[in-house]
Amino acid sequence: MNALTSPPVATAAGNHSSETRVLRSKPPRFTPNGGHELEAHLARTCQKIAAGIRGLVPPNTLEAVLLGGGYGRGEGGVLLTARGERPYNDLEFYVFLRGNRHLNELRFGRALHVLGEILTLQAGVEVEFKLASLGELARSPISMFSYDLVQGHRWLVGEPELLADCTHHREAAAIPLSEATRLLMNRCSGLLFAREKLQKQEFTEADADFVRRNIAKAELALGDAVLVAHGRYHWSVHERHRRIEALARPGSLPWIDTVRRHHAAGVEFKLHPQRCAARREELAIDHATVAALAEKIWLWLEERRLNTAFRNGRSYAKSSVRKCGESAPLRNILVNLKALGIRPILEGRAARHPRERILNVLPLLLWEPTTFTSPDLLRFVQRELQVRACGLSELLHAYRELWSRVN
């Protein structure tokens, strides 16, 4: 089967064969409704990607290359511009290599990064490469990332049979609650970075786009996290919205109707993104509304996951409950050494995953207005981030650095 003309492998758990037959009878697409020129542009980009990777990686090392993300699932965004349709979302390519992933990063990571920069200019959107191995994927437990990738992707190099040992990644009901927490951590971090933009003295069109995009991502993620918590997540954004609409009556989840409305807005933006024309004041209102809803969903999810009651984001942050208990202590020590050096060992916290620091700090920076006027809370944030800075911009810089390391 030709890699660039084969459709994405996207099947619903429990009905793999029948849905696969239906999907493979249709022409493959990158987007639900993009025109011929956009589809052809994305296909040419994939051809260049495959050729570039083959030129950099020896054939005895290269196992497979998959396009993941929205375009790999056939649900990529279509941006309408004065020059016609353009891609909007990042192009996420997964490069599977034989051998140790860390050694492969050293061998090929820099060259692939340069290739991505070159092709980003040609593609018109960010081109990202993520290195992995099929053996490691087969051995690893299911996550939202692995489920989305295995269920919906587009082959550039390799054949679908290479994922034969990855069937456990198709079971959406097995995605752990910690994955929903991680999703909210990332999207609420986006809200935090967006608020920083809103508070800038000079607010540009690029800032407005950044804020609008991160609000929409959070709107989508709130409903998606609720679906994960109920074992109802699905790779398709269309199906996810259908499921969130049918999930529960308002009596059992008092905020579900609000989540549904925001999820619909997130789906619309994902599939039909637009350059933001809203004023800073309008975006600030939208941001505050979504951030307030996010706190409710965050606390609901974490109470469910950790079996502990939290009054608000502050009580969650200061709670000593183990927030990353799914991670093994020995691995946590290694991750701490890599991310933060020896200080976690000196503090007696090396056996706890450093992601807990982000989970502790994020609610204070995003939802607790007294963080910068309370000496106790400010010291707590400084200790978690291992900095002495007092200002918002300096603390957010330290937050962003740690978040990027432990994400």
Q: Which helix (H) or strand (E) covers residue 178, if one does?
A: helix 177-198
What b/e sequence results for 119-152 when a residue is b if at least 16 CB atoms lie within 10 Å of its CB, and e otherwise?
Answer: bbeebbbebbbebbbbeebeeeebbbbbbbbbbb
Domain with CATH 1.20.120 in the chain: 176-307
Per DSSP bridges, beta strands 154-157 and 62-67 are: antiparallel
Q: pLDDT tens per residue, the chain (407 residues)?
A: 333 333 344 433 334 433 333 334 455 899 999 999 999 999 999 999 999 999 999 999 999 999 999 999 999 999 999 889 999 999 999 999 999 988 999 999 999 999 999 999 999 999 999 999 999 999 999 999 999 999 999 999 999 999 999 999 999 999 999 999 999 999 999 999 999 999 999 999 999 999 999 999 999 999 999 999 999 999 999 999 999 999 877 677 899 999 999 999 999 999 999 999 899 999 999 999 999 999 999 999 999 999 999 999 999 999 999 999 888 888 999 988 988 899 888 888 999 999 999 999 999 999 999 999 999 999 999 999 999 888 888 999 999 999 999 98
Distance between CA atoms of residues 134 and 144, nearest Å: 17
pLDDT of residue 346: 85
Q: Token pair for residue 386?
A: 């291992």
DSSP-derived secondary structure letter, 78: E
Distance between CA atoms of residues 167 and 154, nearest Å: 17
Distance between CA atoms of residues 52 and 61, nearest Å: 15
pLDDT of residue 72: 96
Q: Which helix (H) or strand (E) covers residue 94, if one does?
A: strand 91-97
- Distances 279 to 208, 282, 285, 315 between C-alpha atoms, Å: 8, 5, 10, 34
What residues contact 221, with CB distance under 8 A and at least 6 apart?
A: 183, 184, 186, 187, 266
Instruction: Identify whether the C-beta of residue 299 lies closer than 8 Å to the C-beta of residue 312.
Output: yes
pLDDT of residue 27: 56
Q: Which helix (H) or strand (E) covers residue 156, if one does?
A: strand 154-157
pLDDT of residue 364: 97
Q: Which CATH superfamily is domain 16-172 in?
A: Beta Polymerase, domain 2 (3.30.460.10)
Instruction: Identify whether the C-beta of residue 52 lies closer than 8 Å to the C-beta of residue 37.
Output: no
End-to-end CA distance of the chain: 36
pLDDT of residue 277: 87
Domain with CATH 3.30.460.10 in the chain: 16-172
Only one residue has tokens 């994400």, namely 407
pLDDT of residue 26: 58
Report CA 134 to chain centroid distance, whole Å. 21
Our CA angle for 79, 84, 87, nearest 5°, is 35
Instruction: Identify whether the C-beta of residue 363 lies closer than 8 Å to the C-beta of residue 314.
Output: yes
105: left (phi over 0), alpha (psi -120 to 50) or beta: alpha
Only one residue has tokens 């208990």, namely 325
Beta-carbon-side half-sphere exposure of residue 217 (alpha carbons within 13 Å): 20
pLDDT of residue 98: 95
**Bridge partners, 62 (sequence order):** 97
pLDDT of residue 11: 39
Just give the CATH number of 176-307: 1.20.120
Distance between CA atoms of residues 315 and 394, nearest Å: 24
pLDDT of residue 389: 84
